[in-house]
Chains A and B, each alone.
Chain A
C-alpha cells in the first residue's frame, strides 16, 4: 500500500499516512486531486478507480471516506477488508466511533493504524492482539486516558 487517507465529505483531511517517501508538495497535490475525484463519484459507484499508475480503493463510512492507494498487482478486495478492519478497530477502541473521535484524538487513531499496518503491510490479522497492544501501550502513558465520549463542543 502506498498511502492511506481519511477525509470528510466536505473535503477536510482527517488522517494521512504515507508509506513511501513523498515530497510535501506532491503530497498536497495528490491529496487534493484524489479528494476531488473520489468526492465527485456517485454513491452507487464501485469502490475502485484507476488513478495515475495506482489503484484507489475507497469506502465511505458515515461522513468519512477511507481511501487507500495500492499498486497494480495488489488485491482490491483485501484492501477493502483492510479498511473495514481498521474501522472495526476504531469502533472497538472508541466505542462506536464517529468523525469527532478521530478529529479530537487523531494521535490515538494514528497509534491504532500503526499497530495494524506497518510500512503499508498488515501487521496482525487478529483484531484482539492489535487492541491488546494498544491498551498495553496506553497503560504505560503517564496520564491514563479512558476511551469514551468526551464533550467535544
Chain B
C-alpha cells in the first residue's frame, strides 16, 4: 500500500499540474492551439491511469481548458469518477468540473444520482456542501425528482452551513420539478424564522424569487414578511423583502397603504444607497398600483422625486443613471412631478456618458406637452447637429419621431412645423432611419387632411432636390424618403402647384440609380401625375401641351423598361404602352383625361395594423383543422438511440412535454425550408434591391455629385422649422390676446372684479388650440372587433409551472417520491388497484404472470404520479383549447402514439418498454402508530461505516414525540452513539411527528467485517400524545445488513476492468437464474439499482458489471442471458463476500 502511494507520487512528479499548464500556455502565445492539443493528449493518457490523484489533476486542467473554450464533453465520465472519489480534495475538483461542464443533455448525469445522494448524507458537512453547490449548477428534472426529498431533509440539518445551502438549492429544484413545491413549502416557510441569520436570509431569498414570479400564491405570507421587514437590520434581507412587497401590492392595495409609512421612514433614515433605491422603486410601484381610487400621496411622490434628484445630481455616474431610470417609472403615472425637473433632465443630455444621455432621452418622451414640444424638439435638433457617432444620432432621430408621434400626434399643434422638422431630418448624414422618416411623412400626409397641400409642396421640393439626398453613396439610407415623397406627390397630385415640373423631376435619368422599390413607386406615381397633368391641360384649348406631356412620358419611360428590377420593368412597360395608346387617341383629338384619371380614382383609408387579427372568425370555420389529413410520418424518424438501462420515464413532467412539441415544430420548419431551398420550382425571396442596383450596367458612368458637407445644407426654397416655431408663438400670442379681450368684454358686461389670476397665469394645456382644424383620420378597425389586446405570456417561461396554490392542504398524492416503500403496497385496497389499471393505459399491455405482479407493486407508486399528471394535462389542454392553438401538434402526437403501440404489439421493440420505478427502501417494522422503512448504504468515506436512513411515518391521529432509536450491538456491528453515552443508550430521533407526517433520520453504524450479512435487533420507543393523555409505546425491529449494502456503485473503465480480471488475484464463482422473464436491460438495471453495480460494457445479451465494497474488495460480474436463463459468472478477491452477494442477487430475482 505504502509503495503504491510512493509510486503514485513519483508518477505525479512528471505530470503537469494546473500551474504548469497555465504557465505553458502563457509561454506558447504563438502556437497556443498546438500546445493545448498536445496537453489534451497528455490529459487523455493521465485519465487512463488508475491513480485517482492523477485523474483529478487531469480533470482540473480540463476545467481550465473548458473555460478557454475547448470542448471537454468527452471527459464527462472521468469527471464522474473524480466526483465519486472518497477524498475531499478530489471530490471537490470533480464537482467543480461537473458544475462547469455538465448541462441538462450530458448523459452521464443520470449515473450520478446515487453518488450525489451519498454525498448529501455524508457525515462530513463539506462533502454535503460541495455536492449541493455542484448540484445547483447542473440539476436536471430527473435529479430534482430523485433528490428532492433528500434535500428537503437537509433543510432541517443540525448545521446551519448545510441548512442554508439546502434552502437555496430548493429554488432550483422547484424550477426543475414543480411538483416538489407544495410538499416542501411548509418547511421552507419554517426557515423564515430560523435562528441562524444566514439560513433566514436564504429562505427570504428563495421565497422572494418564487413570489416575484407568481405573487398571488404568497399573499398569505405578507404579515410574516411585514414583521421581518420592521425588525430586520440586514440590508441584503431588507432589499429582498421590499422587492417582494413590490410584487405583492398590485394584488392587495391595502398592503400598499400599510407599506408607505415604513418605506418612507427607511427612505429618510437609511444611508445605504442600494436600500434607498429599492425603497424608492417600491414606493413608486406601490403608488402606481394605488393610483386609482386613493387619496393623493403627493407627499410620498415628492419625497421620491426629491431623493431621485439628489441621485441625478450626484457626481457618481451610476447613481445618476439609476436616478433617471427610476424617474422614468414615476413619469408614467405622475408626469407633473417629473416635469418640474425638466431643467435637470435636459442638462443630462449633455452628459459625457452616452448611456446617461439615452436615459435622459427616454424621460423626455414622457415630459412633452403641447406647450413645450416645439421647444424640446428644437433642443434635440441642436443635439442632432453636434452629436458625434451615428448610434447616438440615430437614437436622437428615433426619439424625436417617437416624441412627436406619440399617442396619435397628441402634442402636435402645428403640422406644418412637424413636416418641416421631418424634412430637416432628411439632411442627416449616414442615418439608417430613412424609412422611419418616410413612414412618418406618409402617415401624416394621409391622416391629416388639412396638411396635404403643404406636405405635397414640401415633397415636390424634396423631389426637385433629390440629387442632394442621393449624391453621397454613404447616405443611401435616407433615399427612402424619396419613396414617400414620390407617393405623396402622386397620390395627392391635385394639390401640386406645378405638376409638370414635378413630373419632370420624377423622370430624370438619375432616378435610375435609386433602389428598385423606390423606382417602382416613381414610375407608378409618374402615371398618376400624368393623369393630373392631362386633366389640367385638356381644359385649355391648346391641345399641343397635352401631347407634349405624353411625348415626355414616351421619351423617358424606356429608361425604366430596361431596369433590371422586375417590378420597375413591369410597371414601366405597362404604363409606356398605355401612354402610347393615349397618344394615338390624342392625335385623333379624343378627350382622354377623364378616363385616364379614372384609373387612379378613389381614396385610400388607413387601416389599423392589427385589424386583420381582430376580424372575428366566422362560425363553423376551424382554422386549425386539416384540410387534407397529413401523410403519416415514417417510423424510422422517431427511433431514438437506446439507452443501456434506466430509460427515461415517458412524459412525467409537463414542461418537457411542450418542449418536445416545440422541438418537433422547429424541426419540421427547418425541414420544410430545406426542401424549399432545394426545389427549383419554389420562388425564393427576391435578392435585395441594393444588389440589383449595383448590378445595373453602367453605374460607374453616372456622374455622382459630391457636396461639401461642412457647410450646413440649405435646400433652396425649403422652409426652416424654426420659422414655424416663431409663427406658432405669434399665433398663440394673438389667440391669447383675443381671449383676453373676450374675457374683458365678458367681465365688463358682468362687472365682476374676480378672475384676475386668469390673465396673469401661464397658459394651460387646454388653452392651446391647434393652428388649423386638424383632422386626424383614425385607423379603420373591423366591426365588432374587441378593444382589448392581450399579449400572450410566454408559454415557455419556466416560472409558469410554479404558479401553484400553496395554501391548499397537502394531498396524499403530492408527497415527494421517497424512493417509495416496497411494503406499503399490501395496504392498498383492491378497489384502488382497479384504478391503477385504468390510469396506466399508456403502459404496454404485454405482460406475463410474474411480471404482472411485480408491475402492480411498482405501478402503485407510479399511479400517484400519473393521475396527477393527467389532471395537469387536462388543465393544460383546456388552456390550449381556449387559445385555439397547438391543436395541430396534439393531433400529431396522437398519431405517433398510435404508431408506437402498434410496434409493441409486433413484439419488435421490447426494449423500449419503460423501466418500472424501483426503490431500495424496505419495511423495517410497523404497528398501528408508526411505520418505519429503511435503506442501508455503505459509507464511501469510511470503510467501516454503514449509514441507515429510516423514514418514520406517523400513521395515527396523535402526535408522536420523544422517539428513541436503539439497537443491540453485536461484536461486529455497533451503532455510533454520541460521546459520553453508554453502550446501551438509545439515540433520540431529532424530530417529532404530527399526525400523517413522515420524516427521515439517519443513523451511522460501525462494522468490522463485511463479508457476512447480519441482523441486529432493535427497538423504537416513543410517546403517543393525545389531547388528554400520553402513553409510552414501543416497536421492535430487526435491521438486516445484507452484503449488498456494503457495496458501493463505482464506475469502472473497460480496460481497467480487463486488467483487474487478468491480474489473477480474484476468485471465481457462478450462479444460474432460471425463469427470469424480463428484458435484459431491466435485469441489468435491477442489479445496478438493488445491488449497487455499474455496467462496464454491454454487448448484445452479455454484460460485464463492477462494484466495490466499502473496504475496497472488487466484485466483477459477467452476466449472460439466453431465453429465460441468466448465468452470472463472478469474481471477487473475497470469496465469502462474493457468495453472499450472489445469494442476494438470486433472492432479488426469485421475488420477481
Contact B103 A140 (CB under 8 A): no
Segment at the interface with A among B161-169, B864-872, B910-918: B161-169
| Given known A78-B274, A107-B63, A152-B23, contact A121–B205 (CB-CB < 8 A) | yes
Q: Are A121 and B168 in contact (CB under 8 A)?
A: yes
Query: CA A19 – CA B136 in complex, angstroms?
Result: 8
Name the 10 nearest CB pairs between A and B, nearest first: A77-B274, A46-B317, A46-B321, A119-B136, A140-B88, A78-B274, A142-B89, A114-B133, A141-B89, A121-B205
Which residues of A are found within 8 Å of B352, using beta-carbon distances? 44
B302 adjacent to chain A (CB < 8 Å)? no
How far apart are B720's CB and chain A's nearest CB, in angstroms?
35
Query: Which residues on A are within 8 Å of B, measured CB to CB?
Result: 13-16, 18-19, 21-24, 28, 42, 44-49, 73, 75-78, 80-81, 103-104, 106-107, 110-111, 114-115, 118-119, 121-126, 129, 133, 136-137, 140-143, 150, 152-153
Contact status of A142 and B171, CB under 8 A, knowing A46-B356, A80-B318: no
CB–CB A119/B169 < 8 A:
yes
Q: Name the one of B126, B138, B209 contacting A140, with C-beta atoms under 8 angstroms.
A: B126
B273 near A140 (CB under 8 angstroms)? Answer: no
Q: Can you report 16 A-B residue pairs in the complex whose CB atoms are below 8 A from each other?
A: A14-B67, A46-B321, A48-B318, A48-B322, A77-B274, A77-B318, A104-B19, A106-B63, A110-B96, A119-B136, A121-B206, A123-B168, A126-B198, A137-B126, A137-B130, A142-B89
Q: A46-B356, A75-B277, A104-B19 are in contact. Are A121 and B209 (CB under 8 A)?
A: yes
Contacts of A129 in B (CB 8 A): 198
CB atoms of A76 and B318 under 8 A apart: yes
Question: With A46-B320, A107-B60 in contact, do A124 and B164 touch (Cβ < 8 Å)?
Answer: yes
Question: Which residue in chain B gives the minimum CB-CB distance to A119?
Answer: B136
> Considering the chains assembled together, what is the distance between the CA atoms of A126 and B197 in angstroms?
10
B103 x A21 contact (CB < 8 A): yes
Q: Provide the residues of chain B in CB contact with A21, threshold 8 Å.
A: 103-104, 138
Are B67 and A13 in touch, CB under 8 angstroms?
Answer: yes
Chain A residues whose C-beta falls within 8 Å of the C-beta of B71 in the assembled complex: 24
Minimum CB–CB distance for A81 against chain B, Å: 6
A35 CB, nearest partner CB in chain B, Å:
12
- For residue B242, which residue of chain A has the nearest CB? A75
Query: Are A77 and B96 interface neighbours, CB within 8 A?
Result: no
Classify the secondary structure of A's interface with B. Answer: mixed
CA distance A126 to B169 in the complex (A): 19
Q: Is B87 an interface residue (CB 8 A)?
A: yes
Report the minimum CB–CB distance from B75 to chain A (whole Å). Answer: 14
- The answer, yes or no, to whether B145 is at the interface (CB within 8 Å) is no
**Distance, CA A142 to CA B644, complexed state (A):** 37
Beta-carbon nearest neighbor of B236 in chain A: A125
CB distance from A115 to the nearest CB of B (A): 8
A142 touches B104 (CB 8 A): no
Please give the distance in Å from B355's CB to the nearest CB on chain A.
6
Task: Given A13-B67, A46-B356, A48-B355, decide whether A75 and B239 contact each other with a Cβ distance below 8 A.
Answer: yes
Q: List residues of B (340-371) whose CB comes within 8 Å of A's CBs.
A: 352-356
- Report the separation of the CA atoms of residues A73 and B246 in the bound assembly, to the nearest whole angstrom: 10
Contact B161 A19 (CB under 8 A): no
- In the bound complex, residues from chain B placing their C-beta under 8 Å from that of A110 are 96, 100
Within 8 A of A (CB), among B302-361: 317-318, 320-322, 352-356
The answer to whether B137 touches A107 (Cβ under 8 A) is no
Per-residue interface assignment for chain B, residues 578 to 604, with 1 indicating a CB less than 8 Å from any chain A CB and 0 otherwise: 000000000000000000000000000
Residues of A within 8 A of B136 (CB): 19, 118-119
Instruction: Output the least CB separation between B425 and chain A (Å).
Output: 26
Contact between chains at A118 and B165 (CB < 8 Å): yes
Q: Is B201 an interface residue (CB 8 A)?
A: yes
What residues of chain B lie closer than 8 Å to A80, measured between beta carbons? Answer: 274, 318
User: A107 contacts B22, CB within 8 Å?
Assistant: no
Are B198 and A123 in touch, CB under 8 angstroms? yes
CB of A111 within 8 A of CB of B171, answer no
**Cα separation A81 to B273 with both chains bound (whole Å):** 11
* A49 CA to B205 CA, complexed, in Å: 24
- Flag if A73 contacts B169 (CB, 8 Å): no
B124 beta carbon closer than 8 Å to chain A: yes
Q: A104-B19, A141-B88 are in contact. Are A45 and B317 (CB under 8 A)?
A: yes
Query: B535 on the interface (CB 8 Å rule)?
Result: no
B67 touches A106 (CB 8 A): yes
In the complex, chain A residues whose CB is within 8 Å of the CB of B89? 140-143
**Cβ-based interface call for B69 (8 A):** yes
Check B202–A78 contact: CB distance below 8 A. Answer: no
C-alpha gap A153/B27 in the complex (Å): 9
Is B1108's CB within 8 Å of the partner chain A? no
Cβ distance A55 to chain B, nearest Cβ, rounded Å: 10
Cα(A111)–Cα(B100), bound, Å? 12
Shortest Cβ gap from A69 to chain B (Å):
16
Min CB gap A24→B, angstroms: 7
Taken together as a complex, chains A and B put the C-alpha atoms of A131 and B73 apart, in Å, by: 32
For residue B356, which residues in chain A have a CB less than 8 angstroms away from its CB?
46
Min CB gap B1097→A, angstroms: 28
Q: Mark B270-298, 1 if CB is under 8 A from A, else 0.
A: 00011001100000000000000000000
Query: Which residues of B lie under 8 Å from residue A114 when comparing CB positions?
Result: 96, 99, 133
Cβ of B956 within 8 Å of any chain A Cβ, yes or no, is no
B100 surroundings in chain A (CB, below 8 A) = 16, 110
Q: How far is the CB of A66 from chain B (nearest CB, A)?
A: 14
The answer to whether A73 and B87 have CB atoms under 8 Å apart is no
Cβ of B171 and Cβ of A47 under 8 Å apart? Answer: no
Contact across chains for A44 and B23 when beta carbons are under 8 A apart: no
Would B171 and A121 count as touching, CB distance under 8 A? yes
Instruction: Kindly provide the distance from the CB of A39 to the nearest chain B CB, expressed in whole angstroms.
Output: 15
A103 contact set on B, CB distance < 8 A: 22
Query: What are the interface flags for B106-145 relative to A under an 8 Å C-beta threshold, 1 for contact and 0 otherwise?
Result: 0000000000000000001010011011001110000000
Expressed in whole angstroms, the Cα–Cα distance for A111 and B60 within the complex equals 13
State the Cβ distance, B707 to closest chain A Cβ, in Å: 32
A contact residues around B73 at 8 Å (CB): 24
Q: Is the CB of A16 within 8 A of B88?
A: no
Given the complex of chains A and B, what is the CA–CA distance between A67 and B351 in angstroms?
Answer: 24
Chain B residues numbered 89-103 whose CB sits less than 8 Å from any CB in chain A: 89, 92-93, 96, 99-100, 103
* Residue of A whose beta carbon sits closest to that of B99: A114
A sample of 17 more A-B contacts (CB under 8 A), given A118-B133, A118-B165, is A44-B317, A46-B353, A49-B355, A77-B274, A78-B274, A81-B274, A104-B22, A106-B67, A107-B96, A111-B96, A114-B133, A119-B137, A121-B205, A140-B88, A141-B89, A142-B87, A150-B19
Whether, in the assembled complex, B172 has its beta carbon less than 8 Å from a beta carbon of chain A, the answer is yes
Contact B92 A45 (CB under 8 A): no
B residues in contact with A142, CB < 8 Å: 87, 89
Minimum C-beta distance from B364 to chain A (A): 18
Contacts of A48 in B (CB 8 A): 318, 321-322, 355
A122 & B205 in contact (Cβ 8 Å cutoff): yes
The residues of A that contact B23 with a CB separation of less than 8 Å are 152-153
In the complex, the answer to whether B198 meets A125 with C-beta atoms within 8 Å is: yes
